[in-house]
Amino acid sequence: SAVISQKPSRDICQRGTSLTIQCQVDSQVTMMFWYRQQPGQSLTLIATANQGSEATYESGFVIDKFPISRPNLTFSTLTVSNMSPEDSSIYLCSVEGRSVTEAFFGQGTRLTVV
């Protein structure tokens, strides 16, 4: 199994500012995934980050709002830009496991925008 560390674990931010969330994996992985988990809502995929290429964003998510970096095979960042209270959520980093659709998740970053 993969061990995923996310930082920060929580933060309270002012609207209009940006927050960068870091995700570190203990092994090299091809793809990393960023999810959002809003209260009462499903875990929703924001984007897929491949090393050496632009991230692929899901419908409803754009690069200007959620820029992603993937500088190497063990690390990725997600930035939540120009935040508003609607961005208050848990953001989760994920990597795929060896079996067909197994996914490992970090502990999440709990973001509150005030």
Partner 1 sequence: QKEVEQDPGPLSVPEGAIVSLNCTYSNSAFQYFMWYRQYSRKGPELLMYTYSSGNKEDGRFTAQVDKSSKYISLFIRDSQPSDSATYLCAMSGRAGGGNKLTFGTGTQLKVEL
Q: Is 109 exposed, middle or buried (0-12, 13-18, 19+ CB in 10 A)?
A: buried
Cα–Cα distance, 88 to 11 (Å, whole number) = 10
Structure tokens at 32: 């990393």
21 vs 41: CA distance, rounded Å: 21
Stretch touching partner 1 by CB under 8 A, among 14-22, 63-71, 76-84, 103-111: 103-111
Determine which residue in the list 22, 24, 31, 61 makes contact with partner 1, applying CB under 8 A: 31
103 binds partner 1 (CB under 8 A): yes
CB of 65 or CB of 110, closer to partner 1 = 110
Q: Which parts of this chain interact with partner 1 (CB under 8 A)?
A: 4, 31, 33, 40-45, 48, 92, 94, 96-97, 99-108, 110
